[in-house]
């Protein structure tokens, strides 16, 4: 009874308005041409003082679903004018040409009517004459403005669609392109998850962050979530970039067997949804249209013989850890290539130095940063441990790496000079160190030191740029076991591995992951206590992704739900833990896309579950 009374009071308030000079009615249909399965929006505007209900005639083959109502009032020269805007979804049941007759109402004692509206609906799969472009508010023929739901039904995508715009579509292999996606909604988007993946023809990289704003399209106000991704084509030819897809959770208005439904439907139905009893949530997939790309092969003219596919703008650095060493000691050559583009597929670029002595290549280190301002900036670092076998002065020459610069449309050769290495005679013995770990029964301490360094350089986890020295504590240990040379060498290897373990960047990230998580959650609690629920949960989402990224040494901000599920499996999480974290991520993403902050008590429950899961992962 209270619910019905509340509806009646609101309805009466909407109908009341001060006396105005004149009344009018107008209607607009957008778009007017589309396909079966599309959603069309009918907007009716009433202006004046006292007014009656607008009457929308029945049309065979069309279903009218009231979506919302808004009211405003203006005063000009002492006279007040009230405006009422009624939004109605038009859902075609079949293809054909339709006419919506005049919509009538009585305003200030006078009967007013709109002009008839024409609607053309094509069969399923047919291309309407600009229906999608009209709804998306863009002339881009590749932008999708009529999102299809999971089953293709119009009701499942009502009011939610995606358009995509790429800054270039004629590019070279390996050239990165920025694409902007705009997700339009009418406040009924309750959450979502990106599902777009790389394919055999394109590599795709999500850019963290989003931009939110509002936009009026054909008289209808939409909320817009703007997202960006980077696309890198991998093959030459004409290819369609697959749609950008989001698995969305959408609130839709549902019909109830209430005797007042028909009465209230005329003024928006669900707008009186104070307790949400008139809505339900549906999972739908909304997607942009495919985007056709013309991918050009790299030109043959001027291509260097040793070109290995590097595309972008880069610079090359090379250096030696020491310019002068003794024979049998270790020198580290570090080569770094960094710039705007991808270097992860770049092969070995190291020098050939077998004429000097032994060369031990370390596993290359790859770093990548993706931003909207700079695109993909990557860095690949090569390290080579060289153990010279005989004294002399060696000109190490230069490192040359060819690349293709798409902005200059030409090949560029990067060059870095390694300089000269001076190798002095060894203090004890000038012969090359033994090839294997087996040592003679009697061996000098200096030989043990040289072989220990040699073996350590074989291990990829060692920081090869660090000074390889033996401390007093090391000498004491070696002295205690001097009677067993083989054991000495193996112990030296283990000792150096242990002491350099914390210098590994990935190991450092793993070791500080939980500590960083606890520090981040402290700020979350401060925001929560201050009543900033939205800020607290947004920060918690960031802290969670940072933690997962640190645990596996990856970019946590770009992880999808499926990747998080895979990570949990790698970390040894059980089914219950994975399910709990999935619920937490879903709740945080609902806030990110839907913008509705939960009650503080629900936020506390969400964060408590998150903390329990992370503690469990640390114990796994």
pLDDT at 157: 59
Give the separation between CA 274 and CA 7, rounded to whole angstroms: 9
Tokens 């490192």 — which residue?
Answer: 399
**Residue 173 · residue 237 · CB < 8 Å:** no
Summarize the confidence of residues 469-476 as an average pLDDT.
51
The percentage of residues in the chain with a pLDDT greater than 90, rounded to a whole number, is: 22
pLDDT at 158: 54
CB environment 494-505: b (16+ within 10 A), e (fewer):
ebbeeebeeebe
DSSP at 545? H
Higher pLDDT, 328 or 475: 328
Give the separation between CA 187 and CA 204, rounded to whole angstroms: 29
**Residue 464 · residue 454 · CB < 8 Å:** no
Say whether 354 sits in a helix, a strand or coil: coil
Summarize the confidence of residues 545-549 as an average pLDDT.
82
25-34, 194-203, 503-512: the lowest-pLDDT one: 503-512
pLDDT at 494: 63
Higher pLDDT, 302 or 53: 302
Summarize the confidence of residues 271-285 as an average pLDDT.
58
Give the separation between CA 312 and CA 344, rounded to whole angstroms: 13
3-state secondary structure labels for all residues of 93-120: CCCEEEEECCCEEEECCEEEECCCEEEE
Instruction: Respond yes or no on whether the N-terminal peptide bond of residue 31 is cis (omega within 30° of 0).
Output: yes
> pLDDT tier at 129 (50, 70, 90 boundaries)?
very low
pLDDT at 402: 94
Tokens 């004629």 — which residue?
Answer: 170
Bridge partners (DSSP) listed for residue 220: 217
> pLDDT tier at 411 (50, 70, 90 boundaries)?
very high
Q: Please provide the distance, in angstroms rounded to a whole number, between the alpha carbons at the two ends of the chain.
A: 55
261-270, 426-435, 513-522, 571-580: the lowest-pLDDT one: 261-270
**pLDDT winner (highest mean) among 74-78, 89-93, 95-99, 463-467:** 95-99
> Would you say residue 226 has pLDDT above 80?
yes
pLDDT at 181: 92
Residue 308 CA from chain centroid, whole number: 29
> Would you say residue 281 has pLDDT above 60?
yes
Element (H, E) at 584: helix 575-594
pLDDT at 447: 41
The percentage of residues in the chain with a pLDDT greater than 70, rounded to a whole number, is: 67
> Would you say residue 36 has pLDDT above 90?
no
Q: Record the tokens describing residue 411, joined without a space.
A: 């090949």
Give the separation between CA 542 and CA 557, rounded to whole angstroms: 7
> Would you say residue 41 has pLDDT above 50?
yes
Q: Which tens digits make up the pLDDT trace of 353-367?
A: 878 888 888 889 999
70-79, 435-444, 511-520, 522-531: the lowest-pLDDT one: 435-444
Q: Record the tokens describing residue 606, joined without a space.
A: 């969400």
Of 113, 102, 85, nearest to 25 by C-alpha is 113
pLDDT at 415: 92
> pLDDT tier at 306 (50, 70, 90 boundaries)?
confident
160-169, 440-449, 481-490, 593-602: the lowest-pLDDT one: 440-449
How is 228-288 classified by DSSP, letter by letter? EEEEEE-SSEEEEEPPPEEEEEEEEE-----TTHHHHHTTTGGGG-TTSTTEEEEEEEEEP
pLDDT at 242: 92
Angle at 48 between CA 43 and CA 53, to 5 degrees: 55
Give the separation between CA 47 and CA 73, rounded to whole angstroms: 9
CB proximity list for 169: less than 8 A, separation 6 or greater:
177, 291, 292, 293, 294
* Phi, psi values for residue 113, rounded to 5°: -150, 150
Bridge partners (DSSP) listed for residue 443: none
> Would you say residue 294 has pLDDT above 90?
yes
Higher pLDDT, 220 or 466: 220
Tokens 């777009």 — which residue?
Answer: 196
Angle at 124 between CA 123 and CA 127, to 5 degrees: 75
Summarize the confidence of residues 98-114 as an average pLDDT.
88
Taking the CA of residue 24 as centre, how many other CA atoms within 13 Å lie in the half-sphere pointing to its CB?
7
Tokens 């508010």 — which residue?
Answer: 137
3-state secondary structure labels for all residues of 146-197: CCCCCCCCHHHHCCCEEEEEECCCEEECCCCEEEEEEEEECCCEEEEEECCC
> Would you say residue 9 has pLDDT above 80?
no
Residue 534 CA from chain centroid, whole number: 20
Bridge partners (DSSP) listed for residue 34: 121
* Phi, psi values for residue 558, rounded to 5°: -100, 5
pLDDT at 430: 43
* β pairing state of 79-92 and 40-48: antiparallel
Residue 18: count of CB within 10 angstroms of its CB = 12
Say whether 35 sits in a helix, a strand or coil: strand
* β pairing state of 40-48 and 24-30: antiparallel
Residue 127: count of CB within 10 angstroms of its CB = 12
pLDDT at 168: 93
* Number of separate helices (H) and strands (E) present in the chain: 11, 29
């Amino acid at each position: 009874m209270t619910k019905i009374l509340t509806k009646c009071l609101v309805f009466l308030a909407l109908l009341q308005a001060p006396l105005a000079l004149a009344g009018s009615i107008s209607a607009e249909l957008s778009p007017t041409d589309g396909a079966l399965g599309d959603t069309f929006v009918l907007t009716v505007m009433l202006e004046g003082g006292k007014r009656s209900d607008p009457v929308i005639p029945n049309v065979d083959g069309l279903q009218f679903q009231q979506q919302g109502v808004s009211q405003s009032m203006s005063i000009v020269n002492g006279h007040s004018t009230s405006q009422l805007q009624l939004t109605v979804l038009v859902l075609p049941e079949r293809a054909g040409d339709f006419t919506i007759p005049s919509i009538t109402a009585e305003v200030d004692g006078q009967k007013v009517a709109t002009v008839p509206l024409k609607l053309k609906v094509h069969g399923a799969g047919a291309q309407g004459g600009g229906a999608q472009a009209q709804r998306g508010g863009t002339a881009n023929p590749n932008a999708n403005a009529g999102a299809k739901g999971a089953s293709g039904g119009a009701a499942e995508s009502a009011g939610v669609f995606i358009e995509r715009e790429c800054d270039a579509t004629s590019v070279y292999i390996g050239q990165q392109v920025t694409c902007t996606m705009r997700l339009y909604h009418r406040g009924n988007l309750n959450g979502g998850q990106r599902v777009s993946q790389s394919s055999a023809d394109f590599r795709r990289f999500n850019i963290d962050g989003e931009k939110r704003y509002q936009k009026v399209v054909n008289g209808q106000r939409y909320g817009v979530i703007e997202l960006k991704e980077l696309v890198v084509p991998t093959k030459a030819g004409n290819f369609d970039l697959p749609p950008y897809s989001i698995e969305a959770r959408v609130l839709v208005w549902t019909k109830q067997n209430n005797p007042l439904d028909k009465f209230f439907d005329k003024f928006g139905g669900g707008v009186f949804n104070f307790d949400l009893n008139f809505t339900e949530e549906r999972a739908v997939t909304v997607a942009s249209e495919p985007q056709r790309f013309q991918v050009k092969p790299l030109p043959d003219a001027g291509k260097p013989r040793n070109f290995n596919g590097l595309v972008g703008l880069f610079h090359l650095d090379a250096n030696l850890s020491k310019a002068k060493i003794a024979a049998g000691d270790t020198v580290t050559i570090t080569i770094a290539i960094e710039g705007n583009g991808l270097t992860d597929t770049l092969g070995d670029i190291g020098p050939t130095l077998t004429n000097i002595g032994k060369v031990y290549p370390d596993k290359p280190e790859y770093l990548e940063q993706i931003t909207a301002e700079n695109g993909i900036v990557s860095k690949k670092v090569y390290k080579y441990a060289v153990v010279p076998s005989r004294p002399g002065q060696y000109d190490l020459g230069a490192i040359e790496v060819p690349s293709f610069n798409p902005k200059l449309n030409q090949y560029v050769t990067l060059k870095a000079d390694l300089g000269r290495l001076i190798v002095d005679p060894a203090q004890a013995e000038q012969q090359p160190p033994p090839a294997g770990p087996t040592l003679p029964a009697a061996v000098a301490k200096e030989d043990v030191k040289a072989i220990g360094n040699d073996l350590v350089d074989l291990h990829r986890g060692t920081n090869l740029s660090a000074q390889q020295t033996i401390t007093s504590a090391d000498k004491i240990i070696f002295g205690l076991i001097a009677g067993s040379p083989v054991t000495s060498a193996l112990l030296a290897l283990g000792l150096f591995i242990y002491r350099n373990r914390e210098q590994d960047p990935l190991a450092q990230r793993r070791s500080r992951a939980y500590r960083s998580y606890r520090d981040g959650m402290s700020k979350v609690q401060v925001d929560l206590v201050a009543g900033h629920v939205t800020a607290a949960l947004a920060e918690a989402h960031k802290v969670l992704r940072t933690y997962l990224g640190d645990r596996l040494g990856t970019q946590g901000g770009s992880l999808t739900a499926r990747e998080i599920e895979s990570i949990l499996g790698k970390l040894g999480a059980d089914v219950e833990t994975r399910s709990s974290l999935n619920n937490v991520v879903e709740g945080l993403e609902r806030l990110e896309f839907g913008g509705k902050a939960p009650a503080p008590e629900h936020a506390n429950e969400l964060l408590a579950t998150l903390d329990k899961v992370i503690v469990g992962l640390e114990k796994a």
